[in-house]
Amino acid sequence: MTRWYSEKKKEHYYKEAKRQGYRARSAFKLQQMHRAFSLISQGDTILDLGAAPGGWSQVATALTGETGTVIGVDVLPIAPLERATFLQGDMTKEETMDALAQLLNGTSVDVVLSDMSPDISGNYSVDQARSVWLCEQALAVAHRFLKPGGHFLCKIFQGEDTAAFLKMVKSQFGTVKTSSPQASRKSSSEMYLIARSFQPKKV
């Protein structure tokens, strides 16, 4: 029954994404978390890490409006999207960080979003450790570009390393919550950390 429910839900959001013109059903995850935690405001500058194929950037451009800025980064190419700028590169490489710095040109960002996920090996311990490592890279991006009081959201696979990373994030932000949005598969081991009010003096 659980697997049947999971597949039914996956199919529902996939169909809804097609119907509403979203590039990925993951767009609904960001919508649901924004409704719960009010992450994005009109006029914000947003960094979307692991952005391909652009579903989260679609949601972010709608929420930031005409005066907002959305920059998406991924190792994969992303089709153009109105009011978004895409940078193809590996966020774990210094040259990509430098290219991002050039693109921002001294502007601090309001929100760092990361839906980055490792290539799945089938060995959960390995995949979970890689997931945490990607979260650490996303946090490094936040350290460099996020403005004081800004917000950070990242996907992490639950496992033995999750608690230590959560503790690290809690030491640097005012409040930290976890979320498993309705659009996630019931059987999924992923969860999201929502960290509000960046406190760089603590870093």
Q: Where are the beta strands (DSSP E) in the chain?
A: 45-49, 69-74, 84-88, 109-114, 146-157, 173-179, 190-198
What is the rounded CA–CA span in Å between residue 73 and residue 30? Answer: 16
29 is catalytic: no
Say which residues have a Cβ less than 8 Å from residue 201's Cβ, sequence separation at least 6: none
DSSP 52-78: TT-HHHHHHHHHH-TT-EEEEEESS--
Helices and strands, counts by H and E, the chain: 6, 7
CB 119 within 8 A of CB 126: no
Give the CA distances from residue 158 to residues 29, 79, 125, 180, in Å, rounded to whole numbers and listed in that order.
17, 31, 10, 11
Among the listed residues 10, 155, 167, 177, the single catalytic one is: 155
What is the rounded CA–CA span in Å between residue 185 and residue 7? Answer: 8
- Relative to beta strand 84-88, strand 45-49 is unpaired
Q: Which residues are catalytic?
A: 155
